[in-house]
């Protein structure tokens, strides 16, 4: 299949990781998951920044302006005083997409009752979708993929199932998912086939 390359922004937000106190695990987790979940050739624009609202907003604007169809952030979505990722994201939004945050919390509640403390948001800026993900690599994969039972059947849909169609609707590139990782959903009329 012939796919156009897709540029994706990945942003890890952490005071300690950005200052070198410990190794960042967010960027590798995002890169790994997306590389498995999408069949398109991908180019990543990574950013590792502290929990600073102005710097986060600036990074998001720069990534959208650089042509990233999708920007995923990890970290800074809890209730702690330094957690300002949702505020920084909403500050640069043209539209809010509340269903993404609602579904992430729904998935996380299957694992921990403190999921109600998470404040992830998703927004559209221009022709880009920006989504705040949880901070832990395991939680990132769970919220993107959803929950499966012991037979591998989907119990709760992950948020990534809706991401490619959302990007279609805002005029972005066609993202082809790998159903072994996460089954993407589109209406039949929106499904494209590619020549080998």
For residue 179, count other CB atoms closer than 10 A to its CB: 10
Question: Does 195 map to a domain?
Answer: no
Residue 1, domain member (yes or no): no
pLDDT at 1 over 80: no
- Does residue 93 form part of some domain? yes
pLDDT in tens, 86-127: 999 999 999 999 999 999 999 999 999 999 999 999 999 999
Q: Is 131 a domain residue?
A: yes
How many domains does the chain contain in total? 1
pLDDT in tens, 63-74: 999 999 999 999
- pTM comes to 0.95
In a domain, 169, yes or no: yes
**Cα–Cα distance measured from residue 167 to residue 169, given in angstroms and rounded to the nearest whole number:** 5
Boundaries of domain holding 80? 6-190
Q: Is 196 inside any structural domain?
A: no
Residue 64, in any domain of the structure? yes
25 lies in some domain: yes
CA-to-CA distance for 130 and 11, rounded, in angstroms?
10
| CATH code (residue 122) | 3.40.980.10
Q: Are 42 and 4 within 8 A, CB to CB?
A: no
Measure CA of the first residue to CA of the last residue in the chain; give whole Å: 4
């Amino acid at each position: 299949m012939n796919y156009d390359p897709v540029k994706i922004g990945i942003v890890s937000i952490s005071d300690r990781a950005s200052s070198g106190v410990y190794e960042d695990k967010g960027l590798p987790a995002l890169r790994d998951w997306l590389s498995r979940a999408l069949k398109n050739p991908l180019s990543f624009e990574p950013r590792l920044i502290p929990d600073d609202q102005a710097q986060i907003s600036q990074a998001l604007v720069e990534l959208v302006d650089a042509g990233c169809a999708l920007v995923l952030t990890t970290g800074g979505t809890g209730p702690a005083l330094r957690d300002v990722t949702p505020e920084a994201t909403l500050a640069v939004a043209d539209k809010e997409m509340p269903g993404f945050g609602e579904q992430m919390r729904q998935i996380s509640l299957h694992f921990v009752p403190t999921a109600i403390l998470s404040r992830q948001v998703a927004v559209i800026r221009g022709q880009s979708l920006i989504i705040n993900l949880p901070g832990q690599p395991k939680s990132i994969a769970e919220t993107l993929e959803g929950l499966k039972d012991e037979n591998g059947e989907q119990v709760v849909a992950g948020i990534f199932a809706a991401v490619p169609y959302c990007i279609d609707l805002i005029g972005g590139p066609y993202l082809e998912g790998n159903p072994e990782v996460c089954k993407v959903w589109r209406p039949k009329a929106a499904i494209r086939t590619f020549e080998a």
